[in-house]
Amino acid sequence: MSTADLVPALPREMYVDDATWRSEREALLYGEWFCLGRRSDLGLTAPSQVLTADVAGESVLVTSDEHGVLHAVYNVCRHRGSQLRPVVPDAPDGAAGPAVACSIGALRCPYHSWTYGLDGRLLRAPHAELDDLAPFSLAPVGVDVWGGFVFVHLTPERAQPLGESVAKAAATLANYGLADLVTGQVLTYDVAANYKVLLENYNECYHCGPVHPELTRLVPAFGGGGADLTWDDGIPHREGAWTFTTTGTTTRAPLPGLSEAERTRHKGDLVYPNLMVSASADHVAAFVLLPTAADRTRVVCSLLFAASEVGEPDFDPTDAGDFWDLVNRQDWAICESVQRGMSSRSYRHGWFAPMEDDSLDIRRWVLPRLGHRTGEQP
């Protein structure tokens, strides 16, 4: 391999600079469909619910109206700008991402009692005597659901249909019945690294050999530098193993609807900018990345199982949970090491080797959205 085979990675400032972070999030986080998490876990399956969610520093309200239809709006009253549901930045987890929805009949501003319907329409403006309430509806946010995941779009007038953003993952994971799966365990992490470092790490297995010895014993192909992995077909386990658990097996049955290959192989896909999905035969690990700063990302890892399995009185997900927690912590530790190294004054940009070609997806996705050609440095 010659030096000509190496491709420059994104420049240093796109990982460590606060001003670049604020500029970039306008295009990459506010200008694309952003995953909040599982609809059922967010509490948005019942009618008349409201969820306050932080999207990289912007507070939005997602509601389920009296008919169970989802709506989303900015958490900003149209009168004087107060938050309708105040978020205290210094409170624990105040800006850490979605919590759980609560029951509500309307949205009432605590400042002057302007009151809005769960669809964002202004219903009452006490003492204002407005002859037309329609122009004062709350600023809309796009909202849609795929595979049981809720997505929002903070620039809905420019949003493409969600189906186009998830098309590749929908095809790869078509047989896993994502919408019907139930969360059996949740693992939450605060990682001191830029969210793109986590995306790049997920997209390549060049690191798997040195970073994940337990994983490569389970899936030997992962230890070969990441070349020639056919993700569309799935990656086979070692002889006698068929899922991501501490033993490589489990008493849980494979998910219904899987092909013969999917019953013994591991598949995965990524929905930019913040959903990573890894599918095993009996469960799916879904990672929602919630960026909070240039060098901080909260990760919510939900382990999804068939509802029939979770409903069993002796259901125990720890064989999968313990394995994923081990692999996750290995990943987050090396990602934090990368972040610290990128923060050095000596660092300009890294390089992608040919076997890391999937990681170049980050360049192919990021650069055009920032007004650059894929092959040029910003």
Question: Are residues 229 and 195 part of one domain?
Answer: yes
CA distance 378 to 375: 10
Question: Are residues 148 and 106 part of one domain?
Answer: yes
Q: What is the pLDDT of residues 160-191, one digit of tens each?
A: 999 999 999 999 999 999 999 999 999 999 99
**Inside any domain, residue 15:** no
pLDDT value at residue 3 = 72
Crossing angle for the helix pair 318-342 and 195-202, to the nearest 10 degrees: 120
**Inside any domain, residue 1:** no
Question: Are residues 181 and 88 part of one domain?
Answer: no
Average pLDDT score over the chain? 93
Question: Are residues 156 and 284 part of one domain?
Answer: no
Question: Are residues 137 and 183 part of one domain?
Answer: no
Q: What is the CATH number of the domain that holds 310?
A: 3.90.380.10
Considering only residues 225 and 181, tell me which one the structure prediction assigns the higher pLDDT: 181
Question: Are residues 207 and 133 part of one domain?
Answer: no
pLDDT value at residue 94 = 44
Q: What is the pLDDT of residues 19-49, one digit of tens each?
A: 999 999 999 999 999 999 999 999 999 999 9
Distant-in-sequence, close-in-space partners of 126: CB < 8 Å, separation ≥ 6: 112, 113, 114
pLDDT value at residue 200 = 95
Q: Is the pLDDT of residue 91 over 60?
A: no
Q: What is the pLDDT of residues 275-333, one digit of tens each?
A: 999 999 999 999 999 999 999 999 999 999 999 999 999 999 999 999 999 999 999 99
Question: Are residues 44 and 143 part of one domain?
Answer: yes
Question: Are residues 326 and 183 part of one domain?
Answer: yes
Q: pTM of the entire structure?
A: 0.94
**Inside any domain, residue 264:** yes
CA distance 155 to 214: 42
**Inside any domain, residue 29:** no
Q: Is the pLDDT of residue 252 over 60?
A: yes
**Inside any domain, residue 27:** no
- Smallest Cα–Cα separation from 143: which of 203, 101, 109? 101
* Last residue within a domain, chosen from 118, 141, 164: 164
Question: Are residues 84 and 213 part of one domain?
Answer: no
Q: What is the CATH number of the domain that holds 55?
A: 2.102.10.10
End-to-end Cα separation, the chain, in angstroms: 26
CA distance 310 to 44: 20
Are 143 and 68 in contact by the 8 Å Cβ rule? The answer is no
Q: What is the pLDDT of residues 326-361, one digit of tens each?
A: 999 999 999 999 999 999 999 999 998 887 877 778
**Inside any domain, residue 22:** no
Rg from Cα positions in the chain: 22
DSSP code per residue over 299-318: EEEEEEE-HHHHTSTT---H
Question: Are residues 213 and 85 part of one domain?
Answer: no
Q: Are strands 235-236 and 349-352 parallel, antiparallel or unpaired?
A: unpaired
Average confidence (pLDDT) over 142-148: 98
**Inside any domain, residue 9:** no
Distant-in-sequence, close-in-space partners of 218: CB < 8 Å, separation ≥ 6: 237, 238, 241, 244, 248
Q: Is the pLDDT of residue 194 over 60?
A: yes
Domains identified in the chain, total number: 2
**Inside any domain, residue 356:** yes
Q: Is the pLDDT of residue 2 over 70?
A: no
Average confidence (pLDDT) over 93-117: 84
Band of pLDDT at residue 230, cut at 50, 70 and 90: confident
Question: Are residues 226 and 362 part of one domain?
Answer: yes
- Classify 339 as helix, strand or coil: helix
Task: Determine what percent of the chain is predicted with pLDDT higher than 90.
Answer: 82
* Last residue within a domain, chosen from 164, 182, 214: 164
Q: Is the pLDDT of residue 92 over 60?
A: no
Distances 215 to 38, 104, 184, 209, 279 between C-alpha atoms, Å: 26, 45, 22, 8, 14
Question: Are residues 185 and 135 part of one domain?
Answer: no
* Last residue within a domain, chosen from 164, 185, 205: 164
Residue 244 identity: F
CA distance 281 to 320: 11
Full residue range of the structural domain in which residue 220 is found: 174-369
